[in-house]
Amino acid sequence: DAIKVVTLLGSLRKGSFNGMVARTLPGLAPAGMAISALPSIGDIPLYDADIQQEEGFPPAVETLAAQIRDADGVVIVTPEYNYSVPGGLKNAIDWLSRLPEQPLAGKPVLIQTSSMGAIGGARCQYHLRQILVFLDAMVMNKPEFMGGVIQNKVDPQTGEVVDQSTRDHLSGQLTAFGDYIRRVKA
């Protein structure tokens, strides 16, 4: 069976560069890996324990959780906001963390950040790793992907990454992630 990988996007905007990275991944997947996108995290309300208690988990959270449980691995593709994790992504993770059958526990996770700045959201990566420690996710250490000056590496017409060395880096990282998933599952 093919390894099933899903992408979780940390940006909500239509023209998101990180969205373009996420959209490029299915075409770069190694043989035996299928990559698809999770639904947008934009429909998830701000975490509120009263909502959880009075109405249960929002449908958008349940859907996200079910698709993550069903996947062999998750790629989090996100910008860096103010040297850290975008609030919307943190909010989605906060909801997921409260589920009884917490979907990221033991789940192989790959982090990809991209930004218009030179260091490609590096600072966000280490905050995200710290958050995922509590969720007990199996975050792959290396190789890392930090897409710096990403606006120069995409084609806004097709909405995909066109820079060849960036594509090579991404496909190499996906191959390593496939090996990592097999090791974690073994």
Residues making contact with ligand FNR (CB under 6 A): 11, 13, 16-19, 79-83, 115-117, 121
Report the run of H or E that residue 33 belongs to, with start and end: strand 33-37
As measured in angstroms, the least distance from the Cβ of 22 to ligand FNR is 9
Which residue is it, tokens 């909502």? Answer: 51
In this complex, which beta carbon is closest to ligand FNR, that of residue 34 or of residue 122? 122
Q: Rounded to whole angstroms, how far apart are CA atoms 119 and 34?
A: 29
In this complex, which beta carbon is closest to ligand FNR, that of residue 70 or of residue 155? 155
In this complex, which beta carbon is closest to ligand FNR, that of residue 108 or of residue 147? 147
**Whether 150 contacts 115, CB under 8 Å:** yes
In this complex, which beta carbon is closest to ligand FNR, that of residue 154 or of residue 181? 154
CA 175 to chain centroid, in Å, comes to: 16
As measured in angstroms, the least distance from the Cβ of 64 to ligand FNR is 19
Q: Rounded to whole angstroms, how far apart are CA atoms 54 and 21?
A: 38
As measured in angstroms, the least distance from the Cβ of 184 to ligand FNR is 28
As measured in angstroms, the least distance from the Cβ of 161 to ligand FNR is 12
As measured in angstroms, the least distance from the Cβ of 117 to ligand FNR is 3
- Cα 160-180-72 angle, rounded to 5 deg: 70
Three-class SS of residue 136? coil
In this complex, which beta carbon is closest to ligand FNR, that of residue 11 or of residue 166? 11
Q: Rounded to whole angstroms, how far apart are CA atoms 23 and 185?
A: 26
